[in-house]
Amino acid sequence: MIVEKRMQLGAPLTAARELKEGKVALLDASNAVRFFSLESLQLISGFKTSIKQNTQLSHGADTSEDGQYVAFSVHKEGAVVYSSEQKKLLHHFKRHEGDVESLRINDRYHYLATGGQDGKTFVWSLETGRLVASLPHHSDFVTVIAFSVNGLWAATGGFDRRIWVTNLSSLSQRTVLRGHGSAITDLLFLKGQRLLSSDKEGEIIIWDYFSGKIVKRLKRMLSEIVSMSTTPDGRFLFVADKSGAVALYDLDNYEMISLRYMSYPKPVRKILYVIQSNLLIVGLDNGEVTFNSPLKETRLLEKLIEEERYGEAFELVEENPLLRYSKPYFRLESVWKEVYKKAIRLLEIGEAQRAQEMLEPFSTDAQKRLLMQQLIQDYKEFARFKTAVDGRKYTLAYSLAAQYPMLKENSAYKKMEQEWERLFARAKQLALQKGSDETIQELLKPFRGISSKSALIQTLIKEKEIYRLFMRLVQRKDYKKALELAKRYPSIKELDEYRKIERIAEMIEKKAVEHLEAGEFADAVRTAQQLLDFPEKKEIAEELISRANHYATALRSFAEKDYKAIYRMLEEYPYLEETDIVEKLENVWQKVIAQAERHSAAGDIPSLRKVFGTFLDIPQKRARIVSLFKSAYMEQIERLQKEGRTEEVDRAVQHYMDLFGLDDELASWLALHGLKKRYGEKPPIDPVEIDPRKLPDRLV
């Protein structure tokens, strides 16, 4: 692994975030903030705060994607937000009962979410400094918060071993995920409504967070997992634990590639794969930070291949398994295949020593070494095998090939297989004629008694009528009935004609997907309907037809400004979230929310009601809208409290509780001011049951 830069910070790394414009931000436990250039890896700017940060937290600091905001959890003092440009305090959020255990910035909405020891998660506006929403409760500390790439979903994990996933755009869709046996340590959103979660016992789970089901449990790490990061394409996952190990997983097949892809003598605190420069940043418990370049070794790999130093090339790949997915490695494999073919030709003419010498440079790769040993051993029987093939003693030849499988990789074996294909093709033509049984048996006599061929021969002779029917169905392109027949008579599946049908189905599916991705919904439906003729593709066909119809309906609803219909569909079909239509609609909603938050911060209910306009009629947005009405009322209460109007504060609090019950927002404010015991308990009212149009302009 090439280390581009190594540095020693005064304290352990607490946060690392890739920023826009080619920068990365590193925050440490001494409250120092550093901004580095990804091109030169040199320090650009930074500052240090005087706050008392909780150094034991894994998720107690964060920066915004543009680097404008920097947030810290403060020991016994809530959370603070600084302006990195002005190097001054912007906000101090102190509402949790106990410390803030975790925090995270949402760049889309310019929010800061804070998770506390009280099990509550609050969402704050970085622009207005106001509390704008609360997320579902945990029964213990909230240890980690994450946002989806598009910023629309929030996930919180806690010591209670649960994960709550909430649609931040609406606050109406909430799913609780249960499956971990210990406290949640990290969360990471993936594409396709998937979520990664890790815990203190080293377990990693991939969820479908929309359905709440487990997709896969990955192979465990050695100890408590502290940090996770993926490559830009989402293909590979890096996972760090307290033992000092950084593991590598392939998220295409959910397999662990290497348990100790990287290994350190000290516990790892934070890892981050930087998209813009393909760097893996690793921060250790002793304050050491390394900038590693996993893919830079591709240049060295290319050089080794050019110089035909294949053994060293495979040794390099063994040390860095990520190189197995690089272009130079594909080239190395291509070279190996050519050398392997040449070695087989040498073995065919009895030049075993020369073949072994030719293969020797590749022996550093364990799998290839075993393959080479097997090849040399099996080809000791090649002369006997070739004699059997030349003498048309195919029963003996196939028996030898079964006993010595490497013998299948030579020209004699291919010659025998070509002879079988030629004779069997002729036999299939004869099978369509009457009275051809004896001719077929005589034609295929050299291959009788060979288990891999006998099933096909029996199909032609004993099930000749079935074969004839199958061929007639294929010729008429009645694939549905042909496949149903093959299901009843499995031997048909060995025929080339059956495999051709499978290839046709794959081509139709590919075409339907292309139409869907291009927005050609009618063509996608027509093509997918053809796929219904293939029983094994029925489920895929129905899914493609469904998606195409839903996309078309959403597009029509958007054109007609029927937003209610789109949001209703989104609740049932989450994949619509990834369409341009929904993205445009969410951009409109985001602008409305930004305006509403300003009115909410001023306690201006009439303006708030006006700015939401037609969105007031959309049930799916009700919870989010009500959250800002509550925020506006809390502003009214705070003003009364600051002005010392005690009696009016009391009436306002009572009125608030009549409207919404004792929710997290009010309960936390009362606790902050020592007033919680005065008002007792009253269950929160479901926001869906509240009509914002009927809410009063003022509480008093």
Residue 275 binned pLDDT confidence (cut-offs 50, 70, 90): confident
Q: Where in the chain is the domain with CATH 2.130.10.10?
A: 8-228
- What angle, rounded to 10 degrees, do the helices at 352-359 and 327-348 form? 170
- Does residue 457 or residue 66 have the better pLDDT? 66
Closest CA to 547 of 580, 496, 512, 571: 512
User: In whole angstroms, what is the distance from residue 597 CA to residue 133 CA?
Assistant: 11
| pLDDT single digits (tens) 7-25 | 999 889 999 999 988 999 9
Using the predicted structure, report yes or no on whether residue 55 has a pLDDT greater than 80.
no
Residue 406 binned pLDDT confidence (cut-offs 50, 70, 90): very high
Q: Is the dihedral of CA 621, 624, 630, 635 positive or negative?
A: negative
Does residue 184 contact residue 198 with C-beta atoms inside 8 Å?
Answer: yes
Could you say which of 3.10.20.90, 3.30.2270.10, 2.130.10.10, 3.30.470.20 is the CATH number of the domain covering 8-228?
2.130.10.10
Rounded mean pLDDT of the chain?
92
Q: What's the predicted TM-score (pTM) here? A: 0.84
- Two structure tokens written together for 57: 């937290």
Task: Give the pLDDT of residue 561.
Answer: 87
User: In whole angstroms, what is the distance from residue 527 CA to residue 120 CA?
Assistant: 50
Query: Measured in Å, how far apart are the chain's first and last C-alpha atoms?
Result: 66
Task: Give the pLDDT of residue 50.
Answer: 83
Task: Give the pLDDT of residue 54.
Answer: 67
Burial class (CB in 10 A: 0-12, 13-18, 19+), 239: buried
**CA angle centred on 107, ends 104 and 112, rounded to 5°:** 35
Beta-carbon count within 10 A of 564 CB: 16
Task: Give the pLDDT of residue 436.
Answer: 80
| pLDDT single digits (tens) 203-238 | 999 999 999 999 999 999 989 999 999 998 899 999
Which amino acid is it at 657? M
Residue 468 binned pLDDT confidence (cut-offs 50, 70, 90): confident
Counted residue by residue, the chain has a size of 700
Q: Could you please report the per-residue DSSP string of 332-367?
A: HHHHHHHHHHHHHHHHHTT-HHHHHHHHGGGTTSHH
Using the predicted structure, report yes or no on whether residue 355 has a pLDDT greater than 90.
yes
Q: Is the dihedral of CA 258, 259, 264, 269 positive or negative?
A: positive
| pLDDT single digits (tens) 301-311 | 999 999 999 98
- Does residue 461 or residue 698 have the better pLDDT? 698
The pair phi, psi for residue 123, each rounded to 5°, is -115, 125
Residue 57 binned pLDDT confidence (cut-offs 50, 70, 90): confident
Task: Give the pLDDT of residue 127.
Answer: 94
| Percentage of the chain lying above the pLDDT 90 cut | 73
Which amino acid is it at 92? H
- Two structure tokens written together for 295: 């893919």
| pLDDT single digits (tens) 571-627 | 888 889 888 888 999 999 999 999 999 999 999 999 999 999 989 999 999 999 999
